[in-house]
Amino acid sequence: MKRIVRIGNGQGFWGDSIDAPVHLAKGGPLDYLTLDYLAEVTLSIMQRQKLKNPQAGYARDFLDMVKRILPEITEKGIKVITNAGGVNPQSCREKLIELAAASGKNIKIGVIQGDDIFPDLKALIGKGIDFKNIDTGESIDSIIDKVYSANVYINSFTIAEALEQGAQIVLAGRVSDPGLALGPCIYEYGWKETDFNLLASGTLAGHITECGAQCTGGNYSDWKSVPYLAGVGYPIIEMQADGQFCITKHKGTGGLVNRETVGEQILYEMGDPAHYISPDVCVDFTSFNLTDKEKNRVSVENVKGFEATDTYKVSISYFAGYKASGQLTISGPDALEKAKLTAQIIWERLSKAGYTFEDTSTEFLGVSSCHGEINAQPEQINEVVLRLGVRDQNKDKVNRFGKEIAPVITSGPPGVTGFSGGRPKAQEIVAYWPALIPKEFVHTTVDVL
Strands 245-248, 236-240: pairing is antiparallel
C-alpha to C-alpha distance for 212 and 417, rounded to whole angstroms: 38
Query: pLDDT for 3-37, tens place per residue?
Result: 899 999 999 999 999 999 999 999 999 999 999 99
Cα–Cα nearest to 83, from 156, 138, 26: 156
C-alpha to C-alpha distance for 379 and 212, rounded to whole angstroms: 39
The pLDDT value recorded for residue 151 is 94
Say how many C-beta atoms besides its own lie within 10 A of residue 320's C-beta: 16
C-alpha to C-alpha distance for 156 and 348, rounded to whole angstroms: 55
Give the 3-state secondary structure of residue 282.
strand
Kindly indicate the confidence band of residue 2, based on its pLDDT and cuts at 50, 70 and 90: low
Query: pLDDT for 112-171, tens place per residue?
Result: 999 999 999 999 999 999 999 999 999 999 999 999 989 999 999 999 999 999 999 999
Query: pLDDT for 57-91, tens place per residue?
Result: 999 999 999 999 999 999 999 999 999 999 999 99
Query: What residues form DSSP beta bridges with 387?
Result: 327, 363
C-alpha to C-alpha distance for 430 and 103, rounded to whole angstroms: 39
Which pTM does this prediction carry? 0.94
pLDDT over 60 at 349, yes or no: yes
The pLDDT value recorded for residue 51 is 82
Phi-psi region of 410 (alpha: psi -120 to 50; beta: other; left: phi over 0): alpha
The pLDDT value recorded for residue 371 is 86
Residues 6+ apart with CB under 8 A from 173: 83, 85, 89, 112, 113, 114, 115, 116, 151, 152, 154, 158, 444
Kindly indicate the confidence band of residue 410, based on its pLDDT and cuts at 50, 70 and 90: very high
DSSP classification of residue 235:
P
Query: What residues form DSSP beta bridges with 304?
Result: 284
Which parts of 382-442 are beta strand (E)?
Answer: 383-392, 416-417, 427-438
* Mean pLDDT estimate for the chain: 95
C-alpha to C-alpha distance for 173 and 36, rounded to whole angstroms: 11
What CATH number belongs to 317-433? Answer: 3.30.70
C-alpha count within 13 angstroms, C-beta hemisphere, residue 378: 12
Give the 3-state secondary structure of residue 369.
coil
The three-point CA angle 53-90-114 to 5° equals 105
Which parts of 254-345 are beta strand (E)?
Answer: 276-277, 282-284, 289-292, 298-301, 304-306, 311-331
Strands 109-113, 169-171: pairing is parallel
Measured between alpha carbons, how far is residue 176 from residues 83, 191, 242, 278, 355 in Å?
Answer: 10, 18, 22, 7, 43
pLDDT over 90 at 222, yes or no: yes
The three-point CA angle 138-140-142 to 5° equals 85
Gyration radius from the chain CA atoms: 25
C-alpha to C-alpha distance for 364 and 367, rounded to whole angstroms: 6
pLDDT over 60 at 1, yes or no: no
pLDDT over 90 at 421, yes or no: no
Cα–Cα nearest to 60, from 103, 20, 105, 91: 91
Supply φ then ψ for residue 164, to 5 degrees. Answer: -60, -30
The pLDDT value recorded for residue 372 is 84
Domain boundaries along the sequence of the chain = 4-115+153-309, 317-433
Residues 6+ apart with CB under 8 A from 371: none
pLDDT over 70 at 105, yes or no: yes
- Name the residue type at position 408: V
Query: pLDDT for 369-391, tens place per residue?
Result: 888 888 888 888 999 999 999 99
Query: pLDDT for 268-316, tens place per residue?
Result: 989 899 999 999 999 999 999 999 999 999 999 999 999 999 999 999 9
- Name the residue type at position 436: L
